[in-house]
């Protein structure tokens, strides 16, 4: 793990704390010495490498053999030469504009206007198959970021039963999955 890195609460169903995140850029920062204080009285936290990703988080939803991607606004690209940590709530990012309380405080921030292109369907198909093989689930979601500068995909979160928000014909996809299982069980 190297700088910059992000901290976030561990566990997806926790109430108000689940969206409180921070970015840390340097061990020389005084705040770095107290990083565990961010959540010490609340819950354990996860520490992940941070990569600029065009201000877009891709929500991959898998329902049986079908998958769908919904692009959501994420934290803007940032200058990784910052020294002080940044604290933000991921839930406060405007889904239409990508603007958050961080946007007005950061210099050199960037929000991509290209929200859907750039993802390789073969790579996503590979992710889908690996997730299904690994977890043996037919309903699963994953949060993916894409670093265009290195052409690298990162899965940053896996959700065992996501909300499936934004999927067209989601009810039909559920019915198709249930029908498939009913036929397998001769129902």
pLDDT digits (tens, 9 = 90+) for 14-52: 556 666 777 888 777 666 555 556 555 555 677 888 888
pLDDT value of position 39: 53
pLDDT value of position 176: 93
* Domain boundaries, given as residue ranges, for the chain: 5-185
Mean pLDDT is lowest, of 34-38, 107-111, 127-131, 145-149, for 107-111
* Nearest one of 98, 75, 102 to 86, comparing CA atoms: 102
**Among positive and negative, which fits the CA dihedral 170, 172, 174, 177?**
negative
Strands 139-147 and 56-63: antiparallel
* Nearest one of 8, 28, 144, 24 to 80, comparing CA atoms: 24
The fold adopted by the segment(s) 5-185 is D-amino Acid Aminotransferase; Chain A, domain 1 (3.30.470)
DSSP state of 76: P
Higher pLDDT pick, 168 / 88: 168
């Amino acid at each position: 793990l190297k700088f910059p890195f992000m901290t976030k609460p561990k566990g997806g169903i926790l109430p108000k704390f689940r969206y409180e995140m921070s970015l840390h850029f340097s061990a020389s920062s005084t705040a770095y010495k107290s990083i565990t204080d961010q959540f010490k009285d609340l819950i354990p936290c996860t520490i992940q490498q941070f990569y600029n990703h065009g201000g877009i988080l891709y929500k991959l939803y898998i329902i049986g053999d079908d998958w769908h991607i919904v692009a959501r606004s994420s934290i803007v690209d940032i200058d990784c030469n910052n020294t002080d940590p940044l604290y933000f709530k991921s839930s406060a990012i405007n889904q239409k504009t990508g603007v958050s309380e961080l946007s007005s405080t950061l210099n050199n921030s960037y929000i991509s206007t290209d929200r859907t292109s750039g993802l390789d369907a073969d790579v996503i198909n590979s992710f889908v198959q690996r997730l299904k093989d690994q977890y043996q689930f037919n309903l699963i979601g994953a949060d993916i970021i894409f670093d265009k500068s290195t052409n690298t995909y990162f899965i940053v979160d896996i959700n065992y039963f996501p909300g499936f928000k934004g999927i067209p014909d989601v009810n039909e996809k559920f019915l198709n999955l249930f029908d498939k299982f009913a036929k397998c069980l001769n129902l």
